[in-house]
Amino acid sequence: MILLLTLAFILPTHAVPTHGWDTGLQSQFVDFGYSCSRPGCIGTTPFSLADAKAVSNLYTIVSLEKCLGKTDTETAIYDSAALLKSFNPQLKVFFYLATDLGGLQCYSHLKEWLANPQWWLRNDSGEVMNQSNIPLMDYTNAEARNWWVGIPLNGTGSPAAHLIDGVLADGSGPPACPGIGSDRCAALAAGKAVMVDQLQGLFNSTNGGTVLQNLLSFYPPPSSPVDHGLSWLKYSNGAMAEHFAVFESVLPSGKLNVSRVVECLDTVSAAAAAGKLTVFAAWPGLLDGFGKDGWPTWPGNTQPTTMDGWRAALLQKHTFAFAGFLTVAEENVFLSYIGAWYNGFLQGAVPCPDDLSSCAAPSPWYPDLFKPLGAPLGPAVRTGNVFTRHFERAVSVLDLDNPDASSVTFL
């Protein structure tokens, strides 16, 4: 009996991260990038002490992006994870790693990748296939898969296993195969699935961490699978739906494609019901593109032009995003409210109370996240295109006909 209890303590657990219901703040996820852009950054990280403390207190899970900090991505992620966990040891830190090698030019592993052309993908004519001048992976090559799987934890038994609680595996799902026949394309998809499954298995055997596939897609076929990626859930313990009510879900008229948004809600619910860590990524309003300045636009190509304007927009549009999340919230579903875009220091993922001109983040931070919420009293009820859900201390109303009429009312 003593031996069994000891083994139960030593072996990693495979339960996915969950949150409580005291407040909405407990359910917050952020994918944080990129380089140091404010004074006082610590070492190789992009964080000042104040920024690190804020991020570790405002989020439950932090994914650290490609091209982070002042050095190679791997070192910056490990050092940032250590810094953030010094403020909050319970914080979960995920390592961003794209299945299609996106951003590999920022990783120290690039050198090894370029030195092994036998790992590269070639089309049926023998030509190397590239993305942003980086050769793509031949997923049927076991050595290439093993190389990718070994990156986040820097080898099994590494101290990184104490810092890295999971991986945001971007670009998951079957690969595109231009110039490649259907049988070979199917073999590439099978190899890619094995690679993701292998990474989840590595975490299962080391620290019980989670591979979060950026998987759940709502582009119409053939750009994304008919099942929105649900068939790939079995290869990992987590999945992200990155585009709630934006981009492909916004019609030329500026209205929502309601059926597609409902598909997103249903898909998130299905992933959660399967026991997966599920990230519901929402945005400030019905974004449909990007301006020349790199900030997103709303229908009609309008957008705020000042930090004050973005700050007001992020706060005002948060209600729709929060109501969308609460419509499908479970203890294993987390909200990622992106801010304007992924440059967290500039575009709203971390506050800047000492210099409001330096970022778009609301100050004070989103007040609704700090109010008593309580557990859900049942599933959301749909009336037309309005979804209402009751919590112990709040009522959420998501209005897909008039998003700005959505509300979260605290009792």
Instruction: Supply the DSSP string of 207-258, one letter for each residue.
Output: T--EEEEEEE--SPTTSS-TTTTGGGGGGSSEEEE--SSSGGGB-TTSSB-H
For the stretch 281-303, pLDDT in tens is: 999 999 999 888 888 999 987 88
For the stretch 128-184, pLDDT in tens is: 999 999 999 999 999 999 999 999 998 655 678 899 999 999 999 999 999 999 999
Place of tokens 């099978």: 190
pLDDT of residue 297: 92
Count of beta carbons in the 10 Å neighbourhood of residue 314:
24
Instruction: Decide: residue 3, CB within 10 A, 0-12 exposed, 13-18 middle, 19+ buried.
Output: exposed
- Least confidently predicted of 50-64, 220-234, 268-282, 397-411: 220-234
pLDDT of residue 63: 97
- Least confidently predicted of 155-169, 244-258, 266-280: 155-169
- What CATH number matches the domain at 2-374, 3.20.20.70, 3.40.50.2000, 3.40.50.150, 1.10.3720.10? 3.20.20.70
Q: At residue 25, does pLDDT exceed 60? A: yes
Radius of gyration of the chain (CA): 21
Q: What is the dihedral of CA 191, 113, 120, 165, to 10 degrees?
A: 20
Determine the average pLDDT of the residues in 50-59. Answer: 96
pLDDT of residue 39: 84
pLDDT of residue 13: 54
pLDDT of residue 4: 36
Determine the average pLDDT of the residues in 320-346. Answer: 94
Residues 6+ apart with CB under 8 A from 10: none
Between CA 282 and CA 337 the distance in angstroms is 5
What is the number of alpha carbons within 13 Å of residue 109 lying toward its C-beta? 22
Determine the average pLDDT of the residues in 69-98. Answer: 95
Contact 137, 148 (CB under 8 A): yes
The chain-wide mean pLDDT, for the chain, equals 93
Confidence class of residue 394 from pLDDT cuts 50, 70 and 90?
Answer: very high
Q: How far is CA 249 from CA 75, 252, 400, in A?
A: 37, 10, 11
pLDDT of residue 221: 83
Confidence class of residue 343 from pLDDT cuts 50, 70 and 90?
Answer: confident
Q: At residue 204, does pLDDT exceed 60? A: yes
Determine the average pLDDT of the residues in 394-400. Answer: 98
What is the number of alpha carbons within 13 Å of residue 379 lying toward its C-beta? 7
- Higher model confidence: residue 37 or residue 2? 37
pLDDT of residue 9: 39
What is the number of alpha carbons within 13 Å of residue 165 lying toward its C-beta? 21
Tell me the three state secondary structure of residue 405.
helix
Residues 6+ apart with CB under 8 A from 199: 148, 149, 152, 167, 169, 211, 236
Count of beta carbons in the 10 Å neighbourhood of residue 158:
15
| Region label for 341, one of left (φ > 0), alpha (ψ between -120 and 50) or beta (otherwise) | beta
Residues 6+ apart with CB under 8 A from 59: 28, 29, 30, 91
Question: What are the structural domain ranges in the chain?
Answer: 2-374
For the stretch 33-46, pLDDT in tens is: 878 878 899 999 99
pLDDT of residue 6: 37
pLDDT of residue 14: 64
